[in-house]
């Protein structure tokens, strides 16, 4: 191991401390803390574990979490009605519907139903458009967390060649847009690779900053990494799963060999994951601040 470890847990802890005065300002103005509605359909173990983490974070820093755990066979109309109710509820600043949704529910339809000004995930088409146009809006939490992690480790993105492997709506595409935008945490030259990229290793070897977000365990191996590159591992692959909480997490990067080549690398767990959660808290506080004219 020669690479510097990019510790997301530590950065997230520092961010939590920065949230305190913002939370106090919101509570002082409104008499109530920010509120986040977290909607979970069904009992997918990975989704359950993510949602539990989000709710624990809210409790820890003093955001009010409204839990809505619904059965997997909840009709789409019932979910849409719940979202309409949460959109109208003045105590709710953020509405989060955990993805993926059970079969039979139209994800695009559900995301479109969330008020864009409560869309703390940044998944509504209006917020996707705002990101592309570099206008104020909610930025998706994982891409925003990755940019924060780089900024807080003084890793410059301006002029860097960032290669993103994975083109998902949650990570790859929004991250590419964030990095392309002008200013702090942006100004990068971005290449997006995916399962149909002709010679993946030839592309990844050009990266100053390599982001692995394709959801394939240990797919990025040492020969695919340029010596001295910064490697960001977004993978959360559950290996040898027996019971919820028991699964061993494995990234998209072959950690040990790659850390001999890279200059800096994120661990899994403890790298990108805590940053995603911190950015959700940030977006929820930001939503309350905007509603109160504090932001």
Which segment (4-12, 92-100, 153-161, 185-193) binds ligand GUN by CB under 6 A?
A: 92-100
Q: Min. distance of Cβ 62 from ligand GUN in angstroms?
A: 21
Other beta carbons within 10 Å of 108: 10
| Near ligand GUN by CB under 6 A: residue from 96, 147, 279, 288 | 96
Q: Write phi, then psi, for 163 (nearest 5 degrees).
A: -105, 120
**Would you call 54 a catalytic residue per the annotation?**
yes
Q: Which of residues 142-181 bind ligand GUN (CB under 6 A)?
A: 142, 170
Give the full edge-to-edge strand order of the sheet including 161-165. Answer: 4-5, 264-265, 230-233, 209-212, 161-165, 189-193
Which segment (11-19, 70-78, 93-101, 159-167) binds ligand GUN by CB under 6 A?
A: 93-101
CA distance 90 to 294: 16
**Would you call 106 a catalytic residue per the annotation?**
no
| Near ligand GUN by CB under 6 A: residue from 37, 65, 86, 141 | 141
**Would you call 60 a catalytic residue per the annotation?**
no
Instruction: Please list, in sequence order, all residues whose beta carbon lies within 8 angstroms of the beta carbon of residue 38, skipping any fewer than 6 positions away.
Output: 51, 54, 55, 65, 66, 67, 68, 96, 98
Beta bridge partners of 36: 65, 94
Can you tell me which residue has the tokens 């993978």? 235
121 near ligand GUN, rule: CB under 6 A: yes
| Near ligand GUN by CB under 6 A: residue from 80, 99, 151, 219 | 99
266 near ligand GUN, rule: CB under 6 A: no
Q: Which residues bind ligand GUN (CB under 6 A)?
A: 96-99, 121, 141-142, 170
């Amino acid at each position: 191991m020669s690479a510097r470890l990019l510790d997301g847990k530590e950065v997230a802890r520092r961010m939590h401390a920065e949230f305190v005065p913002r939370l106090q300002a919101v509570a002082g103005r409104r008499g109530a803390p920010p509120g986040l509605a977290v909607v979970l359909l069904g009992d997918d173990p990975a989704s359950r574990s993510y949602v539990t983490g989000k709710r624990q974070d809210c409790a820890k820093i003093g955001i009010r979490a409204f839990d809505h755990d619904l059965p997997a066979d909840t009709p789409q109309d019932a979910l849409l009605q719940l979202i309409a109710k949460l959109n109208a509820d003045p105590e709710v600043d953020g509405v989060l519907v955990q993805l993926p949704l059970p079969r039979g529910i139209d994800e695009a339809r559900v995301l479109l139903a969330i008020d864009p000004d409560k869309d703390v995930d940044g998944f509504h088409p209006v917020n996707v458009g705002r990101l592309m146009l570099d206008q104020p809006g909610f930025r998706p939490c994982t891409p925003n967390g990755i940019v924060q992690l780089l900024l807080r480790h003084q890793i410059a993105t301006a002029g860097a060649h960032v290669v993103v492997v994975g083109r998902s709506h949650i990570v790859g595409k929004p991250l590419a847009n964030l990095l392309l935008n002008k200013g702090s945490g942006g100004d990068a030259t971005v290449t997006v690779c995916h399962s149909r990229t002709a010679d993946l290793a030839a592309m990844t070897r050009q990266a100053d900053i390599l982001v692995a977000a394709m959801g394939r365990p240990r797919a990025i191996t040492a020969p695919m990494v340029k010596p001295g590159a910064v490697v960001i591992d977004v993978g959360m692959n559950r290996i040898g799963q027996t019971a919820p909480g028991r699964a061993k997490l494995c990234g998209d990067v072959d950690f040990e060999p790659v850390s001999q080549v890279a200059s800096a690398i994120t661990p899994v767990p403890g790298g990108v994951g805590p940053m995603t959660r911190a950015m959700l808290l940030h977006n929820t506080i930001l939503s309350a601040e905007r509603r109160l004219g504090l932001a």
